[in-house]
Amino acid sequence: MYLDRAKIIGLLPRLLGPIVGLCLRYSIKLDELVEALKYILIQRADSEISLDSAALSAARISAITGVHRKDIARLRASARPSTKPKNLVMKILGQWEQDRRFCRGRTPKPLKVDGKRSEFTELVYSVSTDLNPYAVLFELQRIGAVECKHQVVRLVTRSHSTRADFEQGLEQLADDLQNLIIAVQENLSSQAEVPNHHLSTEYDNIPAQCADKIRRLLFQEGRRLHRKMRSLLAPFDRDVGSSRQGDGRLRVVFGSYSCLVPHKPERRES
């Protein structure tokens, strides 16, 4: 579907508004924002427009993005590959919930962690033998997903919070934004019979004193929903499911969020 360029430009303030709000809140200045924008324009041009896996010339990137060639050379020289580790924590926790070896009924059971052949080591190696079980345990404890006492580890919460980890929270926000934009772009341009799931439910006249009750309700229902999604998707995944057939590779995301926004009366012009 073709969209008028002028309309896209007209929508940019709304699309960029939340990012700019984040910058204002954490005192990120215009020059820092512009530098980041230049960097991502160059990176995306290299990854999405390059032909035959060959990097585009600085002159061509400059023509496509409007970034000056001197800035392109400087930012390319300073660019570093992403050091973000592959997130296998979700798969390990999902395996803990789905694999009967690590459950009692439908509930993840406490696992012994002592020794090279412990139950927890078996869980980690069922996802990847390249992982260090003790490093995984440290990460699970760090994010508050498990507690470990007397050499036994218990799953205490499936949906760990990022409130205590500011950097991880922003990483999750960046991932969520990218996934949402990909889903919407595909829905706008694809002729697929079934579109990507993209729905929101909103009520705007709820008493403020109901906030805690509603927040708890949404959190609990969200956990149940994602547990169901994991049970549906896990059998398809080569790492944790039983199926190993099929070509190619897909990353499948089902995201959700909730927010409670206090009403702000409209300002009257003086």
Task: State the fold for domain 89-155.
Answer: Arc Repressor Mutant, subunit A (1.10.10)
Task: Report d(CA 163, CA 269) in Å as an integer.
Answer: 38
Task: Encode pLDDT of 147-187 as tens digits.
Answer: 999 999 998 865 544 444 677 788 888 999 999 999 999 99
pLDDT of residue 220: 95
Task: Encode pLDDT of 103-132 as tens digits.
Answer: 998 889 999 998 889 999 999 999 888 889
Task: Encode pLDDT of 66-115 as tens digits.
Answer: 999 999 999 988 855 444 444 677 788 888 988 889 999 888 999 999 88
pTM for this entry = 0.65
Sequence letter at residue 40: I
Spans of all domains in the chain? 1-81, 89-155
Task: Encode pLDDT of 211-236 as tens digits.
Answer: 999 999 999 999 999 999 999 998 88
Residue 29 neighbours by CB distance under 10 Å? 10
Task: Using alpha carbons, list the distances in angstroms from residue 119 to 89, 97, 124, 134, 175.
Answer: 17, 14, 9, 12, 32
Q: Do 153 and 93 form a contact (C-beta atoms < 8 A)?
A: no
pLDDT of residue 94: 85
Task: Report d(CA 159, CA 222) in Å as an integer.
Answer: 9
Task: Using alpha carbons, list the distances in angstroms from residue 180 to 2, 11, 169.
Answer: 20, 16, 16
> Residue 226 is encoded by which pair of tokens?
């994602």
Q: Do 230 and 237 form a contact (C-beta atoms < 8 A)?
A: no
For a pLDDT cut of 70, what percent of the chain falls above it?
87
Q: Which pLDDT band holds residue 239 (cuts at 50, 70, 90)?
A: confident
Calculate the CA dihedral of residues 244, 247, 249, 252 and round it to 10 degrees.
Answer: -70
Task: Report d(CA 211, CA 89) in Å as an integer.
Answer: 31
Q: For 169, list phi and psi in degrees, rounded to 5.
A: -65, -40
Do the bridges between strand 111-112 and strand 107-108 make them parallel or antiparallel, or are there none, so unpaired? Answer: unpaired
